[in-house]
Amino acid sequence: MGCPAIAREGWVLIAGLIAFAAGIHYLAGFWWASPLWLVVLLAVQFFRDPERQIPQQDQAVVAPAHGRVVAIEQAYDPYLERDAIKISIFMNIFSVHSNRAPVEGTVRGKWHQPGQFFNASLDKASEKNERNAIWINTRDGHDVVSVQIAGLVARRILCYVKEGQPIFRGQRYGFIRFGSRLDVYLPVESRIEARLGHWVDSGSDIIGYLPMVV
């Protein structure tokens, strides 16, 4: 079963906006209601959640977020305390804000850290902003950490997976509102396909490959 066209996080808000806009339209006419209909369209755009074709290639790592790649670098993974390759994706208000699992495996750990709300396009957001991380261990024993990071406007991070449960590549596992960021920490031997400055689609674009097991 695929994801709905509109993320469930937006159903109540959009329904309320439609009811309000329709009431003003009925009582005062289209021109008075037109700003409200515009707000409805913006809300639908923000909460859209399109179907994704999930790649099936062995060892593929898919983009966990829809947005622009703002960093690809050797980094220290503070969650698993190891050297890693970090790929950062910045989501603006026009991005799809449903987050998807980059790999298939089992959720071995989960961390939530309160913090500040710097612009999520800045590198310091990875260390200073409020964030939620999950650690996924693949069947081949590789460790991947996916970190949802709040932004300047974003004030709520939602994560629906629990420690110990299986997770599938491309599975919708969370949602973050308004401009925000998502970091992925991969093993240092991974082959990176993402390109700095390029846009990627969550769940369908491959950003790298985990090392082959021999």
Residues noted as catalytic? 180
Cα distance between residue 184 and residue 61, in whole Å: 10
Q: How far is CA 7 from CA 32, 54, 94, 172, 203, in A?
A: 28, 18, 14, 10, 15
129 within 8 A of 116, measured Cβ to Cβ: yes
Q: Which amino acid is at 146?
A: S
C-alpha–C-alpha distance, residues 136 and 80, integer Å: 11
Tell me how far apart the alpha carbons of residues 142 and 11 are, in angstroms, rounded to a whole number. Answer: 37
Sheet holding 60-62, edge to edge: 60-62, 206-209, 191-192
Cα–Cα dist 87/10, whole Å = 28
Provide the total of helices (H) and of strands (E) in the chain, helices listed first: 3, 14
Using CA atoms, how far residue 207 sits from 12, 168, 196, in Å, is 34, 16, 11
User: Look-up: residue for tokens 């515009």?
Assistant: 38
Q: Do 202 and 98 touch, CB atoms closer than 8 A?
A: yes
